[in-house]
Structure 1
Amino acid sequence: MYRIDKSRLAELFAAISGNQDLFLPLRKADQTNYGLWSEEECFDLDTLKTVKSAKDCFFPQSEVLYRCKNEDGKLSIDPQKLCDRPFVVFGMRACDVKAIEVLDRVFLSDPVDTFYAARREHGTIVSLACHEPEETCFCKNFGIDAAEPGADVETWIIEDGLYWKPLTEKGEALTVSLAGLLENADAASTPDAAEKAEKAVAKEQSSIREIIEKLPLSHLDLSRFKPENTMELFDSPLWEELYKPCLACGTCTFVCPTCQCYDIRDFDGGKNGVQRYRCWDSCMYSDFTMMAHGNLRTSQMQRFRQRFMHKLVYYPANNDGLYSCVGCGRCVSKCPASLNIVKVIKKMGGEA
């Protein structure tokens, strides 16, 4: 276990970014989102949930795949260079850390997505425990412990200090590189400091878990969302009732840390050639997965059903019971129609 004063966080960030990129929550235009840190930026570790998750750091909202150019009848193809620079993502909450596991199973399964794999290889995640979980949080339902967020390094902000615990080889390597800043609370060298640090973290964890137990959405019933109930859930008449407030705006998919749908498009730059790029897409849009013969899902009800069946039934059925929802609550707070996965769970789960 290690510790550093909160007043020295800017020094910590400067040290991390000395030889690699550092992404962390930044405050801009009254919103907090992940961005590339510099000394001029205003970091914000107090906001519990960034508008979007740190998914952007590993699966960008838009990225060029390759460029094509025709010069004098000769076609050249220039593939986009894969990520080869190490970077650190600091401050990810437990739900967003779990979301990376969901994305890993999609993009690192055969055939491996080389763009995503390169970023995962070069990225180190430093998580941050949730000091005060909010009413829209429901991560506990999916086996996530906000008091012990995991990742390569897990941290806690307690009073005037940040406590730091490396968990993986990447985390250990990052910790070694910061030896001049982090105060070692190892029991072998400073037993009093180690005991004090362990007690402080244990007390903080207990407080976080007490809050979570009292949250209104911490005890949802997921028992009906099982592979053996797939057709029963799929054919339920409740979908016709549930989907009607949906505006098909796609907000839920763009703030979701686990959504992985994307489109591939071409941009004609004239003399500069053509860029083929991919960008996030939404299963809630009417033209999503549209093919030459038309669309497989022709109504908004079908698209609505697909989104939640995938998160609660299809994905866990194919991934050892791992849900494709992490209970971050972003869709709960951002949906303009107050329609979200919690309402689906309550309505479908209580049908029996």
Structure 2
Amino acid sequence: MKKVSCSNLDALFAAIAEAKKLYLPTADGADEKRGAKYAAWTPETVYAADAVNTVRSAKDFFFPQVERMANFKVEGKSIEVKDIREECEDFVIFGVRACDAASFKILDSVYLSDPVDTFYQNRREHGVIMTMACGKPSETCFCSVFGIDAAEPAGDISCWRSGDEILMQANTEKGEALLASLPMLEDAADNAADAAKEDIRKVLDKLPLKNLSTDKFGGDKLMELFDSDKWEGLSQSCLACGTCTFVCPTCQCYDIRDYDTGHGIQRFRCWDSCMYSDFTLCAHGNTRTTQMQRFRQRFMHKLVYYPANNEGTFGCVGCGRCMKSCPISMNIVKVMKTLGEDHE
């Protein structure tokens, strides 16, 4: 276990940034009203230490909203494909919360399974994740429902705020190497974070959603949940705006688009949403023709399909972003509570 004084955080950030690109939550200027966002560290950057979570999740670093995948040159019947992949720079993400850290395992199960997505793999290999335990979880947080401990965040390095110090524990070889390279760190007792963990768990035990249950969900409940008559009522107010999918740290859907530049074709991967009417649109049309069907697909995937194929792990990490962002206040918590009533 290592430690650094909170007053020495800028020196810590500067030391990390000397060797690797450093990103951390910030809430400067006009963005302060919207909430914290990740930004590259500079000497003028103000770390948003008190922000519970960023507006957008940390998945952007590994699965960006838009990325170019290939270039094509077409001359007559000849097509030249240019592989544009290159090694990305080493980088560190500081201040990742436990929910976002848990979301990486879900993304890994999709993009690191055969066939491996080398774009995603490249970023994962070059990234170092420094998590920060949640000192003041929000009332919209419910990560514990999915077995995530906000007091014990995963990542390459786990951090805790204790008084005027930041405690750090390396969990991987990448984490150990990074901590060993930072001369301002001091040794701390192995149990130095125990008091901070206990305080966090006391707060977690008082959160309003701590008793939300997943017992009524999972792969073995497929047909009874799919056929529930509650979906129609739940979906009626949905605007199909896709906001919930774009702030979600575990959503993985994307579309592939080709653009003619006049000098060749560029292929891009862009985030997509199962809530959109043109999602997975085929020549014969869309396989889910109503908003109710698309709404049902989103939540069935999180609560039934994904756990059915991943040893019971749910496709939600309880970050609460959808609760804060939905313009009509519809979210996975309301879906779970409503559907759960059918099986009391």
- TM-score, L = length of structure 1: 0.93
- Written as runs of structure 1 = structure 2, the 5 A alignment for 1:11-160 is 11-28=11-28, 29-30=31-32, 31-70=35-74, 75-160=79-164
In 1, the alpha carbon distance for the partners of 2:152 and 2:83 equals 40
**Which amino acid is 2:291 matched to?**
Q
- CA deviations on 1:234-279 (whole Å, 9 max, x unpaired) are 00000011111111000000000000000110122223x2210101
- Runs (5+) with no aligned partner, structure 2: none
Cα distance, 1:84 vs. partner?
Answer: 3.6
Q: Which residue matches 1:293?
A: 284
Number of the residue aligned with 1:189? none
Preserved contact between residue 83 and residue 115 of structure 1 (Cα < 8 Å): no
Q: Give, in angstroms, the shift of residue 66 of structure 1.
A: 1.1
Matched, 1:277 2:268: yes
For residues 18 and 351 of structure 1, do their structure 2 counterparts lie closer, same or farther at Cα, with a shift above 3 Å needed? same
Give the Cα–Cα distance (whole angstroms) in 1 for the partners of residues 143 and 134 of structure 2. Answer: 11
Q: Distance in 2 between matches of 1:351 and 1:41?
A: 50
Alignment-mate amino acid for residue 2 of structure 1: K
How much does 1:51 deviate? 0.2
Distance 1:26 1:274, change over 3 A: farther
SS of residue in 1 equivalent to 2:194: helix
Deviates more, 1:112-121 or 1:68-77: 68-77
**CA RMSD, Structure 1 to Structure 2 (Å):** 1.5
Q: How does 1:159-174 map to 2 (within 5 A)?
A: 159-174=163-178
Partners of 2:103 and 2:88 lie apart in 1 by 23
In the other structure, the counterpart of 2:339 is 348
Tell me by how many angstroms 1:111 deviates: 0.8
CA distance in 2, matches of 1:83, 1:343: 43
How do 1:315-334 and structure 2 match up within 5 A? 315-334=306-325
1:80-120 alpha-carbon deviations (Å, 9 max, x no partner): 22334221111110000000000000001111111011111
Letter of the 1:313 partner, please give it: V
> Could you tell me which amino acid in structure 1 is paired with residue 218 of structure 2?
K
Q: Is the 8 A contact 2:220 2:308 kept in 1?
A: no
User: 2: CA distance between counterparts of 1:80 and 1:47?
Assistant: 37
Name 2:231's counterpart in structure 1: 239
- Give yes or no for contact 1:107–1:113 (8 Å, CA) kept in 2: yes
Partners of 1:248 and 1:300 within 8 A in 2: yes
Distance across 2 between alignment mates of 1:228 and 1:71: 53
Shift of 1:224: 1.3
Distance 1:173 1:38 in 2: 23
Count of residue correspondences: 339
Large movers: runs of 4+ above 6 Å: 71-74
Residues 219, 312 of structure 2: 8 Å contact kept: no
CA distance in 2, matches of 1:36, 1:79: 28
In structure 2, the residue matched to 1:181 is 184
Q: How does 1:297-308 map to 2 (within 5 A)?
A: 297-308=288-299
CA–CA separation in structure 1 for the residues paired with 2:75 and 2:26: 43
Secondary structure of the 1:270 match is: coil
Amino acid at match of 2:86: L
Question: What is the aligned partner in structure 2 of residue 3 from structure 1?
Answer: 3
* TM-score, normalisation: structure 2: 0.95
Equivalent position SS for 2:279: coil
Moved more, 91-100 or 70-79: 70-79
Distance 1:241 1:87 in 2: 45
> 2:76 & 2:332 partners in 1: Cα distance?
54
Per-residue deviation at 1:145?
Answer: 0.3
Match of 1:224, SS state, is: coil
* Secondary structure of the structure 2 residue equivalent to 1:258: coil
Q: Alignment partner of 1:198: what SS? A: coil
The whole-number CA distance in structure 2 between the counterparts of 1:24 and 1:302 is 38
Residue 273 of structure 2 aligns with an amino acid whose one-letter code is S
- Could you tell me how far apart the structure 2 residues matched to 1:78 and 1:38 are? 35
Contact between 1:153 and 1:167, CA under 8 Å: does it hold in 2? yes
SS at match of 2:18: coil
Q: Percent identity?
A: 55
